[in-house]
Amino acid sequence: MQGVNTDLSQSPAGTPTAPLDAAQLAEAFALFNRASEELSTAYNALQAQVGQLTERLTVLMGALPAAVVVVDRAGEVVQVNRAAEALFGGALVGSAWQAAWTRLQPTETPGELTLVAEAGAEGDDVRRLSVSESALESGDERIVLLHDITDTHRMRLASERNERLAAMGEMVAGLAHQLRTPLAAALLYTGNLRQPELDPAQRASVADRALERLRYLERLIRDMLLFARGDSLGRQRFDVCDLAAELVHTLEPLARARQIAFAAHCGCDGTELVGDRKALGGALTNLLENAIQASEAGGHVRFDVALLPAAASGLGVAAVRFEVSDDGRGIPPELQERLFEPFFTTRAEGTGLGLAIARGVARAHGGDILLRSAPGQGSTFTLSLPLSLDAPAGCLSTDPTSPPP
């Protein structure tokens, strides 16, 4: 159609709109400038806050007594504090964390490692560290925190030893009685051997009784020494089910002789522990012997070994549980509290140190022993030990102290 103005702007919906005039454009630019200035001001304020936070973090990292190591996804150290440099004896930034990690050796306690000095370094003082690790939400970096607990560990060992010595001092009178009685019996039997009227059979019987008393004395003294040296444990890797099979082979004849059904099961195929195999075997032997002796003829004793996840172990990490159960007469509640006390025993032939030693062995490995019992319903002793930090792959639950790949 002639004479009609068709110069109209189109809206996004296709509806014709009038073009913006100069005043509207000026107002739009003014709004844009104000928004830009506000954004610039906010950005500058944010930069100032970031600078303050960075400064505070730097001061905090420098003041922390614990060593802080920041590791990126590739396993390279990107940031450390002064405590970390002092601990490892040099600069770490830019180096592979795996190289520093190889100097950390596992201990019997989960989450605690020892730092081995570098070859040629001055001094040979071994440091004991508590290690924890946290990953950033982005997953790009991990923060490793290392506390030097060497002095705390030494004080803990000294305290435990002093407690044992104090317990021995408090019970010295009772111990003297325990020693004097079998010694007097052994002397009496030995004196009877001098009587010429004894026939060979009687002489052999008296000699056997004297030897029995002397063996009791030897066992009592051995248990005393084990209790006093409870912190001196060896360290070796051993298979859990191999140890269980050895204990079953040893205890089955005793159970059979007392007409007790003895059943055992190990569900830890291929699992290994690191610790004192002999001491742990002795502790479990004590628990099994106690269960057999507490059962009447026709009773049942079970020995079960199982793996527990961290959530169910009660130790905060994956663990191996050794459980010894019997259907004997049970233990009264008032005696359960004293059962692990040194020199406390309910058996005439007991030394009163077996369970105290067993608990000491468990705790020296980072674990513990628990008891469930009721009169007439039997007893269950549970010895739980944490899996070592350097156990084979597949045996451990996810552990924050594992080194980077």
pLDDT in tens, 201-210: 888 888 888 8
Where is average pLDDT lowest: 94-103, 113-122, 161-170, 326-335?
A: 113-122
How buried is 161 (Cβ within 10 angstroms: 0-12 exposed, 13-18 middle, 19+ buried)?
A: middle
Position 359, amino acid: R
> Where is average pLDDT lowest: 101-105, 170-174, 188-192, 399-403?
399-403
* pLDDT (average), residues 31-39: 85
Residue 234, pLDDT score: 62
Q: What is the pLDDT of residue 58?
A: 67
Using an 8 Å Cβ cutoff, are 342 and 167 in contact?
A: yes
In angstroms, the Cα distances linking 369 to 173, 265, 324 are 28, 19, 11
* Residues in contact with 126: Cβ distance below 8 Å, sequence separation at least 6, in sequence order: 114, 115, 116, 117, 150
Strand partners, 134: 143
pLDDT for 119: 55
State the pTM of this model. Answer: 0.48
CA separation for the pair 211, 307 (Å, rounded): 43
Q: What is the CATH number of domain 63-150?
A: 3.30.450.20
Q: Is residue 284 predicted with pLDDT exceeding 80?
A: yes
Give kind and range of the element (H or E) at residue 66.
Answer: none
Identify the band that residue 303 occupies on the pLDDT scale cut at 50, 70 and 90: very high
pLDDT digits 0-9 by tens, 217-249: 776 776 666 665 554 456 788 899 999 999 998
Assign 388 a pLDDT band (cuts: 50, 70, 90).
low
Q: How far is CA 85 from CA 79, 119, 186, 315, in A?
A: 10, 17, 64, 32
Domains 63-150 and 233-390 share a fold: no
Lowest mean pLDDT among 125-129, 177-181, 208-212: 177-181
Give me the mean pLDDT over the 319-343 stretch. Answer: 82
In 229-294, alpha helices (H): 240-257, 277-294
Torsion angle (degrees, nearest 10) of CA 63, 66, 72, 77: 80
Phi and psi torsions of 335, nearest 5°? -90, -25
Q: What residue spans define the domains of the chain?
A: 63-150, 233-390
Structure tokens at 66: 């614990």
CA–CA dist 161, 350 (Å, integer): 23
- At 402 the pLDDT is 38
pLDDT surpassing 90 at residue 304:
yes
Is a pLDDT exceeding 50 seen at residue 291?
yes
Residue 92 above 50 pLDDT? yes
What tokens were used for 342?
A: 């040194």
User: What CATH architecture is 233-390?
Assistant: 2-Layer Sandwich (3.30)
Rg of the chain, C-alpha, whole Å: 35
Q: CB count, 10 Å around CB of 281?
A: 17
Given a contact cutoff of 8 angstroms between Cβ atoms, the answer to whether 312 and 321 are in contact is: no
Q: Tokens 């946290």 correspond to what residue?
A: 134
* Strands in 287-349 per DSSP E: 300-308, 319-326
Q: Which two tokens stand for residue 331?
A: 């233990």
